[in-house]
């Protein structure tokens, strides 16, 4: 038996309604905020991600699916979308056609991480990127947008954490302070954090090692060493969140796993899933376009993990109603009415009403059982004396009420059902 690769999974028909519901919700909220969908290829030149996300990040140094194709080009399955979206905006000069481009996506991503609940090797994100303005109102919009989607799903147990990483100049100065603070504690740090001292010192805040965490408790904080402009922008983001009644907490220890961030960063954490609790992460990346392309385009965005969100929904009992069942089940009472029943079904289907009927020559009792199993709202009985009189019987499966309908008036009924 050939099976799925570890860290990947099939989405089966029984659970697909949740994906559809979430995807439809994302599309409608994105429309409300005027974001347009963008789709980019599944694989790109490796340099896009290594340069964009940063060589020393976990994603680039350990997790990318990179391979040589037959023409010896190094390709990588996209581990995230931001670099691809920025590449696409630059390549198609979208920034020259209109100053601000507000874009969204729903797409699979690939990272070779150790699989566990909520952590996969192929996973799916929805996200948004706004390119062309450095206004803090867009930073706040990203947080509000992501939060609105999660709230509309019915999730309750959410924490929003925000931070500012400032600009490279203030960050460089701060890194020297942090290095100084850690200089006499290096021996106690974990091996991973020792490596990060030179490659990505801020990420030591993210260490899961208890001694590391203790050491970092008293470390100087970047937020206390920001330049005035970054501080002012951070204040504006906070004001707008308060105005939007979006609850948040400033977490000066929040550092993200990607190198391109400047100023605002944020995460939305769920308390109802296990250790993989970040449902969503994002922030501003004003220098990324220049880094991978030839011009400056300020940007801000977020991405949210769909599998993790659905896990949180399951644990909080949201999204439990499957509304994708057929509306009507046609029950054929006489075996010889196969063609007639089939044709009535077709009429419903062509009028846009979801119908199921029997293909297995089942008994009336078994057809009834099937209608119950599918949880249809109505059952339509075709056959018996009524059919002789040119009639069918429509039964409401909730109330049990029955209505006798002339077959010649079926069009009227279809119209009534469609409302
Ligand atoms: P990220 O924090 O790497 O950010 O990923 C965003 C979200 O994707 C995470 O919060 C998580 O829900 C989900 N995710 C990440 N890795 C996995 C995995 N292995 N399995 C399941 N879910 C996962 C980014 O990707 C940035 N591009 C976000 C961004 C957009 N920043 C600015 N614009």
Shared domain check, 272 and 156: yes
Last residue of a domain, one of 258, 286, 315: 315
Q: Distance, CA 227 to ligand 1 centroid (Å)? A: 28
Rounded to two decimals, the pTM is 0.95
Q: Distance, CA 152 to ligand 1 centroid (Å)? A: 20
What are 314's two structure tokens? 């399951």
Nearest CA to ligand 1 atom 20: 119
Which residue has 């009189």 as its token pair?
Answer: 389
Whether residue 93 is contained in a domain is answered as yes
Q: Distance, CA 113 to ligand 1 centroid (Å)? A: 12
Assign residue 55 the CATH number of its domain: 3.30.930.10
Shared domain check, 334 and 370: yes
Residue partners of 207: CB distance under 8 A and separation at least 6: 190, 192, 193, 213, 216
pLDDT of residue 126: 98
Give the chain's largest Cα–Cα span. Answer: 95
Shared domain check, 365 and 309: no
Q: What are the pocket residues of ligand 1 if the criterion is a CB atom closer than 6 Å to any ligand atom?
A: 80-82, 111, 113, 119-120, 123, 125, 127, 129, 257-258, 278-283, 285, 301-305, 307-308
pLDDT of residue 329: 97
Nearest CA to ligand 1 atom 33: 301
What are 65's two structure tokens? 């699916």
What are 387's two structure tokens? 């059919």
Shared domain check, 381 and 267: no
Shared domain check, 251 and 160: yes
Shared domain check, 388 and 291: no
Shared domain check, 370 and 237: no
Whether residue 37 is contained in a domain is answered as yes
pLDDT of residue 322: 83
Whether residue 390 is contained in a domain is answered as yes
Last residue of a domain, one of 293, 315, 337: 315
Q: Distance, CA 232 to ligand 1 centroid (Å)? A: 27
Whether residue 381 is contained in a domain is answered as yes
What is the domain range of residue 278?
A: 13-167+227-315
Mutate to test the pocket of ligand 1, among 274, 305, 307, 312 (most ligand atoms within 8 A of CB): 305
Instruction: Give the CA dihedral 223, 224, 226, 230, nearest 10 degrees.
Output: 60
Shared domain check, 287 and 152: yes
Contact (Cβ atoms closer than 8 angstroms) between residue 279 and residue 119: no
Whether residue 303 is contained in a domain is answered as yes
Residue partners of 69: CB distance under 8 A and separation at least 6: 75
In terms of DSSP bridges, do strands 249-250 and 158-164 run parallel, antiparallel, or are they unpaired? parallel
Q: Distance, CA 30 to ligand 1 centroid (Å)? A: 18
Whether residue 183 is contained in a domain is answered as no
Whether residue 144 is contained in a domain is answered as yes
Assign residue 405 the CATH number of its domain: 3.40.50.800
Shared domain check, 334 and 309: no
Residue pLDDT tens, the chain, 419 long? 999 999 999 999 999 999 999 999 999 999 999 999 999 999 999 999 999 999 999 999 999 999 999 999 999 999 999 999 999 999 999 999 999 999 999 999 999 999 999 999 999 999 999 999 999 999 999 999 999 999 999 999 999 999 999 999 999 999 999 999 999 999 999 999 999 998 889 999 989 899 999 999 999 999 999 999 999 999 999 999 999 999 999 999 999 999 999 999 999 999 999 889 999 999 999 999 999 999 999 999 999 999 999 999 999 999 888 889 999 999 999 999 999 999 999 999 999 999 999 999 999 999 999 999 999 999 999 999 999 999 999 999 999 999 999 999 888 888 877 77
pLDDT of residue 180: 95
Q: Distance, CA 125 to ligand 1 centroid (Å)? A: 7
How many domains does the structure of the chain reveal? 2
Q: Distance, CA 126 to ligand 1 centroid (Å)? A: 9
Last residue of a domain, one of 315, 341, 358: 315
The atom number, within ligand 1, closest to the CA of 282 reads 31
The atom number, within ligand 1, closest to the CA of 280 reads 10
């Amino acid at each position: 038996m050939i099976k799925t690769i570890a860290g990947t999974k099939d989405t089966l028909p029984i659970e697909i309604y949740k994906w559809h519901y979430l995807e439809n919700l994302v599309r409608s909220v994105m429309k409300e905020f005027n974001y347009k969908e963008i789709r980019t290829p599944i694989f790109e030149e490796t340099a896009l991600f290594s340069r964009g996300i940063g060589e020393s990040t976990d994603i680039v140094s350990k997790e990318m699916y990179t391979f040589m194709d037959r023409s010896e080009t190094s390709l990588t399955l996209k581990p995230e979308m931001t670099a691809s979206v920025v590449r696409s905006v630059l390549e198609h000069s979208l920034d020259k056609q209109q100053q601000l481009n507000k874009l969204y996506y729903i797409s699979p991503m690939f990272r070779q991480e150790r699989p566990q609940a909520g952590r996969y090797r192929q996973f799916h994100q929805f996200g948004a990127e706004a390119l062309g303005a450095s206004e803090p109102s867009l930073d706040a919009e990203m947080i509000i947008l992501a939060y609105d989607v999660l709230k509309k799903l019915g999730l309750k147990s959410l924490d929003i954490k925000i931070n500012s990483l400032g600009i490279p100049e203030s960050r460089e100065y701060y890194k020297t302070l942090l290095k100084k603070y850690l200089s006499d504690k290096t021996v106690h740090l974990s091996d991973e954090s020792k490596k990060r001292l030179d490659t990505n010192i801020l990420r030591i805040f993210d260490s899961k090692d208890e001694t590391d965490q203790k050491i970092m408790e008293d470390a100087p904080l970047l937020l206390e060493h920001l330049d005035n402009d970054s501080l002012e922008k951070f204040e504006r983001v906070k004001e707008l969140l308060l105005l939007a009644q979006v609850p948040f907490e400033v977490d000066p220890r929040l550092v993200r796993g990607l190198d391109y961030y400047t100023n605002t960063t944020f995460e939305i954490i769920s308390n109802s899933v296990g250790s993989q609790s970040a449902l969503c992460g994002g922030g501003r990346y004003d220098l990324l376009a220049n880094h991978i392309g030839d011009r400056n385009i300020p940007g801000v965005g977020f991405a949210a993990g769909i599998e993790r969100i659905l896990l949180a929904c399951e644990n909080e009992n949201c999204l439990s109603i499957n509304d994708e069942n057929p509306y009507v089940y046609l029950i054929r009472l006489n075996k010889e009415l196969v063609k007639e029943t089939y044709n009535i079904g077709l009429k419903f289907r062509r009028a846009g009403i979801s119908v199921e009927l029997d293909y297995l020559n089942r008994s009336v009792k078994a057809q009834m059982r099937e209608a119950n199993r599918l949880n249809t709202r109505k059952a339509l009985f075709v056959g018996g004396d009524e059919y002789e009189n040119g009639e069918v019987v429509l039964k409401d499966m909730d109330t049990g009420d029955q209505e006798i309908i002339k077959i010649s008036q079926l069009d009227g009924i279809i119209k009534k059902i469609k409302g």
